[in-house]
Structure 1
Amino acid sequence: MKKYLSPLSAVLLVCVTASAAFAQGLTGDALAGETKIAMCIGCHGIQGYQASFPEVYKVPMISGQGAKYMVSALSAYKKGDRKHPTMRGIAAGLSDQDIADVAAYYEAHDKTAVAPAPGPAAVGSAQVVALLQKGACVSCHGDNFNKPIDPSYPKIAGQHADYLFVALKSYKTEGKALWGRSNPIMGGVANQFSNAELKELARYLSSLPGVLKTLPQAKFK
């Protein structure tokens, strides 16, 4: 399979074994992952690309995301704990090793950042502060929402607001064959809020400085 992001090869060589061992004792290989992203780049490699199911929203930025979280997310799509027809189909075609390799590849993009690491998150409005406290968001995602307390949790600072809103709503969705996410922790958090409150949280988190980005592939530049 063609390598689509050859300028990163030097970085990937450094990061090839940087990821810790995942479940099943697998370690992701970023260089191998570079050859396995053909099904990813058509959405996540295009700036501003929008999905249309279950509503229109920008697909999440995954370059710079933690590898262990990406393994968790892709595995959940593969098992059906996260319901989404496109992602389920893609994840189902990946072996556990493929998932670990792809995750290591996208995590390696964090090493290409030239800007300094983001500082502490700015304090939001009184309403936002109250919502964050109610959801205890920092207890998992970290004080600046860039350094989760567990690597299986996502970085969310700077992520697209419309994606965050749709993702949060998905944890409240029940009984749908093709949409929804089964996660007892996030389900308990999301169900405390109205959709208007979730949108406010998503807007605030999106406004924060973060390390996530979309790196256009040469094919789409």
Structure 2
Amino acid sequence: MIRFASRMGVALTVCGLLAGPAQAAGDPAAGKTKFETCTGCHSIPGYTNAYPTYHVPRLGGQHADYIISALKAYQSGERQHPTMHANSSSLSEQDMQNIAAYLSSSTKIVADSNPIRGNASAGKKKSVACVACHGPDGNGPIPLYPRLAGQHEDYLLKTLQDYKTNKRNNSVMKGIVLSLTEQDISDLAAYFASQPKGLSVMAQD
């Protein structure tokens, strides 16, 4: 318990220090045009990555700064995904800002089901370590950190597992997941996925 509380204290401090000013606003209309390349995966309800199999993330309503950060990580190879690397490789800084502005501000969404398999109640108890960066319900206000509410449960599950196995690198997240069991990870994913007023699938015109 002391070790977990210590990690939570570090997370609170680091999240506070890293929460900087928001990126310059992009052009949502231009972002919508650029995002057309992405609709084949991100605008189809229930669409899954081929291997390993998991739902591609919901992006509607995501923080703009986080989207920009994620695109840069895919572009540089810091985050490994062949399709995302290919799609982001030619994007300029302005392109990324425009896409982020479109995704974060658009209200045109597609409803899709989000069945929950883990124990959301148990996940809520474990989520205390996540509050500083992601908010108590996954709708945290810090723009650099992703909103988690309503995200696909299996995507959240894979993300936490990737941090635990060093497939994704983040010192804060590494410290948080280090002591989590597989059941803890499953329950956390269930809790944040089940939260209302969360992320949505973007609609195709």
- TM-score normalised over the length of structure 2: 0.78
Aligned residues: percent identity? 41
Contact (CA 8 Å) 2:163, 2:177: kept in 1 or not? yes
* One-letter amino acid of the structure 1 residue matched with residue 189 of structure 2: A
Q: Does 1:128 align with 2:123?
A: yes
- Measured in 2, the distance between the counterparts of 1:130 and 1:66 equals 25
* One-letter amino acid of the structure 1 residue matched with residue 123 of structure 2: V
* Alignment partner, residue 34 of structure 1: 32
Q: Does 1:106 align with 2:108?
A: no
* Alignment partner, residue 160 of structure 2: 168
- Measured in 1, the distance between the counterparts of 2:68 and 2:150 equals 21
Contact (CA 8 Å) 1:33, 1:98: kept in 2 or not? yes
- Measured in 1, the distance between the counterparts of 2:168 and 2:202 equals 27
The C-alpha deviation readout for 1:137-189, integer Å capped at 9, x for no partner, is 1111112321x242111111111101110111111233xxxxx2121111221
* Alignment partner, residue 46 of structure 2: 48
* One-letter amino acid of the structure 2 residue matched with residue 100 of structure 1: Q
* Alignment partner, residue 17 of structure 1: none
Give the superposed CA RMSD. Answer: 1.9
- TM-score normalised over the length of structure 1: 0.73
Residue of 75, 87, 98 corresponding to 2:84: 87
* Alignment partner, residue 137 of structure 2: 144
Moved over 6 A (4+): none
Shift of 1:30: 0.8
Q: Which has the higher helix share?
A: 2
- Matched residue count: 175
Contact (CA 8 Å) 2:31, 2:102: kept in 1 or not? yes
Consecutive unaligned residues of structure 2, counting only runs of 5 or more, are 1-20, 110-119
Change (3 A) 1:21 1:158: closer
Change (3 A) 1:21 1:28: farther
* Alignment partner, residue 155 of structure 1: 147
Contact (CA 8 Å) 2:150, 2:198: kept in 1 or not? yes
Contact (CA 8 Å) 2:26, 2:94: kept in 1 or not? yes
Shift of 1:208: 1.1
**With CA pairs under 8 Å and 6+ residues apart, which has the higher RCO, 1 or 2?**
2
Contact (CA 8 Å) 1:33, 1:104: kept in 2 or not? yes
* Alignment partner, residue 3 of structure 2: none
